[in-house]
Amino acid sequence: MTGIILDIAEKRFPAAAGAPARLIYSDFRLEVAPFGFLVLLAPSGLGKTTLLNMVAGLDPDFAGGIRFEPSPGRSFSAEGPRIAYAFQSPRLLPWRRVRDNVALPLGRDPAAAEKAMAMLREVGLEEQADAYPERLSLGQQRRVALARAFVLDPDVLLMDEPFVSLDEAGAARLRDLLRRLLARRPATVMFVTHDSREAVELGTRIVRLDGVPARIVADIPVGLSADERRNPALVEECRRAVFG
């Protein structure tokens, strides 16, 4: 698996539309261990999504560096680690069928169609393979987005509030699905949420950010076992212990 080392000397948002330039990160360092499930908690607008975008390579406009380090005995391909990103919205292409949306990250892989169908079976949407995204509920669209992320067998999985706007029952089902997918396809995860209960239920480590520029104000390990995470009472007890 892949560890992530972030050394952000400086990240600014430039002045725009009359607003002044804004310093987001300065001398910021964060390490994510291989197989870790790191949850980022912070107030809105503090730069959580920006951090994921820098890790994904979508925002290279910063001073510093981000390194990916394979665990002992592992190595990357020439292209580096496989990175998958699940966004706040599912971001499915409306003119493509569900199976084609899932296969999209595989490019010209001759087995793309077969792999996409296998992932749709895993997330319980095989019967929707030929549907267009508009025919799916939001929960189903988010399942498709998870399938699209995992079809890569990613080394690194970035998730930016992927279950937002769902009711609690729907979000709980998707959290359970995510745990099952990770059990079969382990990855190093960086997960953004505003939900402290979700953070405890999923994460092995919770990092809280605050201030301008953003800084780490708490770094909390979560020691719940896989079985304990399925127990709502134990999750709530741990959440109260961590957050008060």
> Residues 89-112: pLDDT tens digits?
999 999 999 999 999 999 999 999
pLDDT digits (tens, 9 = 90+) for 11-57: 998 887 777 888 999 999 999 999 999 999 998 888 999 999 999 99
Q: Which amino acid is at 46?
A: L
The closest alpha carbon to 198, from 236, 227, 150, belongs to 236
pLDDT of residue 172: 92
Q: Which amino acid is at 133?
A: P
HEC readout, 105-158: HHCCCCCHHHHHHHHHHHCCCHHHCCCCHHHCCHHHHHHHHHHHHHCCCCCEEE
How far, in Å, CA of 179 to CA of 16, rounded? 41
pTM, rounded to two decimals:
0.94
The closest alpha carbon to 32, from 52, 54, 4, belongs to 4
Q: CA torsion angle for 121, 127, 130, 132 (degrees, to 10)?
A: -100
Average pLDDT per 10 consecutive residues for the chain, totaling 244 residues:
90 83 94 94 90 95 92 68 93 96 94 96 96 96 96 95 90 94 94 93 95 94 90 90 82
pLDDT of residue 45: 84
State both tokens at 129: 């393979």
* Domains, the chain, with CATH or none: 2-82+154-243 (3.40.50.300), 94-152 (no CATH)
